[in-house]
Amino acid sequence: MTPLLMLVLIPLLGVVAIALRAPARSVALAASALCLGVVSWMACSYNAAGEFRWEWVQPWFQIPLLGSTALRFGVDGVNLPLLVLTGMVSVSALLVAPAKIERESEYYGCLLFVIAGAYGAFASMDLMCMYIFHEFALIPTFLLIGFWGNGYRRISISFQMALYLLAGSIVLLLGMLGLLFSLPPEIRTTDLRVLQEVLSSYPLHPDSQGMIYFFLLIGFGILVGLFPFHTWAPKSYSAAPTPAAMLHAGVLKKFGIYGLLRVAEPFCPVGAEEWNSLLLMLLIGNILFVGWAALSQKNFNDLLGYSSVMHMGYLFLGLASGTPAALTGVVLLSVAHGLSVSGLYAVQGMVASRTGEVEMASLGGVAKKIPVLGFLAVILAMASVGLPGLGNFAGEILIFFGSWQGLSAGWQTGAMLAALVGVVVSSVYMLRAVRAVFYGTEGKARIEGVGLSLTERVALLIPVVGLLVLGFVPTLVTDDAAASLSRWFVW
Amino acid sequence: MNTVATTLFLQKSQEPMQWWNLPEVWWIFVGILLLLLEMLRPRRNSASIAKASIFAFAVMLIASLGWPTGLETTFFGGAYQWDGLAIFFKRIFLIAGLATTWMMRKCEAQGIQGRDEFYILPWFAVAAMGFVSSVGDFVTGFVSIELLTVCSYIMVAFYRSDRFSLEAGAKYLVIGALSTAFLVFGITILFGTGGSLRFDQLANSLASGHQDPAVTMGVVLVLVGVGFKLAAAPFHWWAPDVYHGAPTPVSAFLAVASKAAAVVFLLRLLIGPFAPLWTQCQQVLLALAGASLLVGNLGALSQRDVKRVMGYSSVSHAGFILLGISAGSQPAMLSVCYYLLAYTLATLLVFGVICGMIDKTGGSLMRQFNGLAQSRPGVAWLMTIGMLSLAGIPPLSGFFGKWFIFASVWQEGMYVMVFLAGFTAVASLFYYLAIVRHMFFEKPADGRAISSGLSFGYQLLLVVLAVATVAVGLVPGAVQRAIYALIFNL
């Protein structure tokens, strides 16, 4: 029994307990805290210099046509930080979740299901299992947005999200089929460790690499919100209840990036080169077009959604340049972005629950009434902008350096320039939002209730402390990540 | 368990099978016995007939575990073949028959006149389908399909006072007659050109004379006739109307058992007389598959009635099955069987919930499911499992069914069809989730439509179907291996 299996089983057992009428909120919190404990212990005792640890394999099924699939777990310097991210965000999200809510047990059951899916997707070292665990989260998110969400359009938004994500998954599935069928039948498997070993010595045929990479890029890309397939994301996040938005924007969206980093880039290097200019064009769209859209948002919630999609452009830039430094930066920025965006969604939820308002024009002066909230919110906003001393800066700078290293003329230069402009754009909209919500005179919306409760403080401190630690000691993540990447990629 | 089986059919031994041991003979015998019981019993009380029928289905299903596998024989001069494919489908028919009669018992409270036959007709239908699964010549095939269809006519129009049921019955009768005409016309042409009705002899003669345009015409006509039974587009128009109007258990029976019978008849034809004409057949099948995928999935989008949605959904699943069949390889055959098993379990589950929840003849609007998650959360979750399996969400069995079909079609290089199937599968999520939406997001309207309660036995049926839907998905490899061992006699 590996601790990784426990990460999946604990939330699922929590769902069972809730189904048996145990107090939902306490069970959910206990389960997520236990998981956070397990991942923290793993992070502290990893010490393997990029090797895989806590591996566990259980053969699942074998089909003559498709080879073997195993329930395989394993962790190295790339997915361990993402698991820690999952643990931190899930605890923070459940702390933010309201104590009293209609149909409480189903609400917390859905959240636990999403958490189990996220842990499973990041801990699996089998392509099929990764896919299945990621799909775990689809239907619970649909239910969370449709029933507990905000706004009168929540039902149509929940449908849009579910269809978009399923479409992405189907494209991904076609890419997986292509990958499997370009292997000779006797070594067909979805086991990533085996695939990596085989493909590093016997690369796929360049033609099939191009096709496979394209499908994987679009499939994973839709899950991440790659321009122009991003339209579902801001809407869904602003319609979702706060914990669901935190989990989805903070954790699940990183699954697409992780998949590209773990599967598409290393297995299809030639294909990646072939489609490099397409990816660069699309990521310019992510940074400039979505950044532009973020500038004109009037609603704090929507602004966060666009901002989170925009920053995916930086992760794609790291993937597109493909140098060791940039890919290490992708791992670091994924974690830092997950922490900052989920923290910002938590802040947004707290503001909205006190004022009942999300329009920035009618908000204002929150920091005067609740200084702690203002202080923590500013730290999170600065992290998202990329202020030195916070995790996002370290990740972005690594990506910039890495892209500079592999710089070639053409779209790459354009993407670098766009990314630099994007830093300015993101500071403009984020600072504007901070000023409108937290400073200035109190707006139309009256702030009700008092300061932050203890649980709310803890919920915000988790990402803030995480970002500070990553900002000052990024080597905690980057050392192992770089070591693992150098084992996983053939450079 | 096996002792029961061996007392019923002394076949585990290596002795050759005898015709009186064939399951269909027993099934018809049970049907006649139930008719006699109906006539002779002292009080008019259909509960005893219903219980006897359900009990007999359960016994036969258990007895089917004792059937001799790994044995290929023929009876009645080659008109009846006993092999693994037949066993697989006969078991599917028994499962469908059991679940259907169970649902019929739930419908009993709704004031059906002359209700006893309702529990007896499935026996003759199941026996007819059993013959179809073993068919070895066109006469047996035609007669068994007619017996199935005639039983279905009666069952569809069983709510004699309900105009929807009568309308459905009339439509089914007309369409059934039309498809029979196609089928029999095609058979006539094949008989005229091939000189025989036996599948093996016909295969030989068609192999030599397959350039003859008359042969192609005969083959196409037979495939059209099967297409009607399968509810494949463009011969699907009856399905939504008939599923909508028929009593819910009968809709379930048509969606599952009748379709499976058409599938096995098609398989028998393709591995038998039509084998020399595979390339022509493949074109027809691909066209039918593509049309069914598009029409079924897009047609369901605008429906407001759950049973009509299930009608269009059954068209789209026919498309998936035809797509798998048109891949034409051994793995594809396994994928089709796996898909059919997953489809059977999930569809029975969904119709079981509809039947249990809607105390009304005829339609079952989605609105009537409003707020089901609040009033009966357990049932709502069971329905959700069924819907998600049909939509192909992992790790439910429907997902692996689709995945295996995709793989076997991809193997044959028909990439366009895989894309088409993939994207219509995305569209299908919309209408399956629409029902989930009504159950979970809407407030109950007036509570009138939702049935008062379900008996323990009925709940057990639904739970068993749901568990099977999940379990077949959790061990896809083992299920495929079992099907492989059964069909290819290992």
Going by pLDDT thresholds of 50, 70 and 90, the confidence category of residue B3 is: very low
Phi-psi region of A386 (alpha: psi -120 to 50; beta: other; left: phi over 0): left
Q: Looking at the structure, tell me whether residues B262 and B116 fall in a common domain.
A: yes
**What's the gap in Å between the CA of A133 and the closest CA on chain B?**
8
Does B416 reach chain A within 8 Å, measured CB to CB? no
Q: The domain containing residue B338 runs over which residues?
A: 296-490
| Stretch A180-204: mean pLDDT | 88
Could you tell me which of A240, A254, A227, A251 has the C-alpha nearest to residue A301? A240
Give the least confident one: A73-77, B292-296, B445-449. B445-449
pLDDT, residue B345, reads 96
**B352 and B248 both lie in a single domain:** no
Question: CB-based contact (8 Å) between B430 and chain A?
Answer: yes
Q: Is B396 within a domain?
A: yes
B323 and B248 in one domain?
no
Cβ contact, residue pair A63, B477, below 8 Å: yes
pLDDT at B48: 81
User: What would the pLDDT profile of A255-276 be if each residue is shown by its tens digit?
Assistant: 999 999 999 999 999 998 889 8
Q: Which of A132, A146, A177 is nearest residue B395 as measured by Cβ atoms?
A: A132
Q: Which residues of A36-63 are buried (b: 16+ CB within 10 A; e: fewer)?
A: bebbeebbeebebebbbbbebeeebbbb
- In this structure, the number of other CB atoms found within 10 A of the CB of residue B328 comes to 18
Q: Same structural domain for residues B252 and B311?
A: no
- B249 and B301 in a single domain? The answer is no
Q: Is residue B230 part of a domain?
A: no
Average pLDDT, chain A: 90
- State whether B373 and A174 contact (CB < 8 Å): no
- CA distance to partner chain A, nearest, from residue B261 (Å): 26
pLDDT tens-place string over residues A405-419? 767 767 888 888 899
Across the interface, of A69, A135, A147, the residue whose CB is closest to B440 is A147
User: How many interchain CB pairs under 8 A, A with B?
Assistant: 84
Chain A residue numbers with beta carbons less than 8 Å from the beta carbon of B475 are 61
**Chain B partners within 8 Å of A103 (Cβ):** 373-374
Residue A462: pLDDT over 70 = yes
Domain identity same for B255 and B354 = no
How far off is chain A from B297, nearest CA to CA, in Å?
Answer: 14
Would the pLDDT of B176 be above 50?
A: yes
Within this chain, do residues B311 and B413 fall inside the same structural domain, yes or no? yes
Shortest CA gap B111–chain A (Å): 37
- pLDDT tens by residue, B340-351: 999 999 999 999
Cβ–Cβ contact B331 with A under 8 A: yes
Taking residues B437-462, report their average pLDDT. 76
Least confident range from A474-488, B200-214, B436-450: namely B436-450
Q: Which residues of B touch A65 (CB under 8 A)?
A: 331, 404, 407-408, 411
For tokens 């989260």, the residue is A137
Backbone angles phi, psi at A396, to 5 degrees: -65, -40
For residues B146 and B253, state if they share a domain.
yes
Q: In whole angstroms, what is the distance from residue A53 CA to residue A371 CA?
A: 44
Helix (H) or strand (E) holding A75: strand A67-75
Q: Is A191 helix (H, G, I), strand (E, B) or coil?
A: strand
| Contact at CB, B406 and A177, closer than 8 angstroms | yes
Query: Which has more confidence, B6 or A253?
Result: A253
Interface test with B, best of A170, A172, A211 (most B CBs within 10 A): A170
For B353-400, how does the pLDDT look when each residue is reduced to its tens digit (9 = 90+)? 988 887 654 457 888 888 888 888 888 899 999 999 999 998 899 999
Is B185 within the bounds of a domain? no
Q: What is the mean pLDDT of chain B?
A: 87
Q: Is the pLDDT of residue A445 over 90?
A: no
Tell me: do B250 and B359 sit in the same domain: no
The residue among B252, B268, B284 that closes a domain is B268
Nearest to A162 among B411, B429, B477 (CB): B429
Tokens 């909120």, located at residue? A25
Work out the minimum CA distance from B255 to partner chain A, whole angstroms. Answer: 26
Taking an 8 Å cut-off on Cβ atoms, the answer to whether A170 and B423 are in contact is yes
Q: Is B228 on the interface with A (CB under 8 A)?
A: no
User: What's at B364, amino acid-wise?
Assistant: S
End-to-end CA distance of chain A: 34
What ipTM is given for this predicted complex?
0.91
Say if B276 falls within a structural domain: no
A299: pLDDT strictly greater than 70: yes
Are B247 and B342 part of one and the same domain? no
Whose CA is closest to A97, among A147, A25, A32?
A: A25
Inside any domain, residue B228: no
How much is the pTM?
0.93
pLDDT for residue A368 is more than 90: no
Chain B residues in contact with A167 by the CB 8 A cut-off are 423, 426
Same domain, B42 and B3: yes
Quick one: B354 and B427 in the same domain?
yes
Alpha helices in B82-162 (DSSP H): 84-107, 116-133, 138-156
Q: Total structural domains in chain B? A: 2
Residue B180 lies in a domain: no
